[in-house]
Amino acid sequence: MIFTYKECIEKYGNDYQLTRAVAEESIYRVESGVYSTERYSWDLEVIVKKYPNAILAGEYAFYYHGLTDVIPEKYHIATKAKAAKLLDVRIEQIYVRDDLLQLGVDEEEINGITVKIYDKERMLIELLRNKNTMPYDLYKEIIGNYRKIIDKLQIWRIQEYAEIFPKSKMIKKALEEEVF
């Protein structure tokens, strides 16, 4: 289990006791401000604890949803447009307008970790909006997999999202031409 420094201080009482617990290996320091009851921790678990408001997006969300078999090199994290830059080499930060940030967020469980991640419908909109910024073969693989599952998606939700996002005409046209 992962804990923040603040949670550890509440549990152990003070910094000295926490330092002793780390020395005795009853708890392990994973990185600055993050501790674990396990010797080794999964990066995603640490990231979710360290950045509780972040939302998994981008290539990682496509991978999690089974739309690509390409394992992303980094965790793609959506944050508010004016959020501070996340200085973490494991993360690629995606800045999203505040009014669009929570649109399509689901809480899912990945290997026992509860994470915030965009649903498949939102990710389809993101795919179409950002198709010129991603490798062509990855785009084709993901769009092909969307065609295979289109009957399982909530079309009304896709249409609702398309109306809200900038470039809605372009998104609707791409939906008609490439997906439906």
Cα–Cα nearest to 25, from 7, 38, 42, 11: 38
Q: Are both 127 and 69 inside the same structural domain?
A: yes
Q: Are both 115 and 142 inside the same structural domain?
A: yes
pLDDT of residue 41: 87
- What are the distances in angstroms from CA 42 to CA 45, 81, 90, 163? 5, 27, 12, 38
Q: Are both 73 and 14 inside the same structural domain?
A: no
Q: Are both 104 and 19 inside the same structural domain?
A: no
Number of separate domains in the chain: 2
Q: Are both 28 and 95 inside the same structural domain?
A: no
Q: Are both 157 and 101 inside the same structural domain?
A: yes
Write out pLDDT tens, residues 57-76: 999 999 999 999 999 999 99
Q: Are both 62 and 30 inside the same structural domain?
A: no
Integer Cα distance of 154 and 175 in angstroms: 14
pLDDT of residue 176: 78
pLDDT of residue 166: 83
In the numeric block, the tokens 């997006």 are attached to: 57
Beta-bridged to residue 94, according to DSSP, are 78
Q: Are both 35 and 52 inside the same structural domain?
A: no
Q: Are both 90 and 17 inside the same structural domain?
A: no
Write out pLDDT tens, residues 76-104: 999 999 999 999 999 999 999 999 999 99
Q: Are both 88 and 156 inside the same structural domain?
A: yes
pLDDT of residue 178: 74
The pTM (predicted TM-score) of the whole model is 0.85
Q: Which domain holds residue 16?
A: 2-41
Q: Are both 23 and 69 inside the same structural domain?
A: no
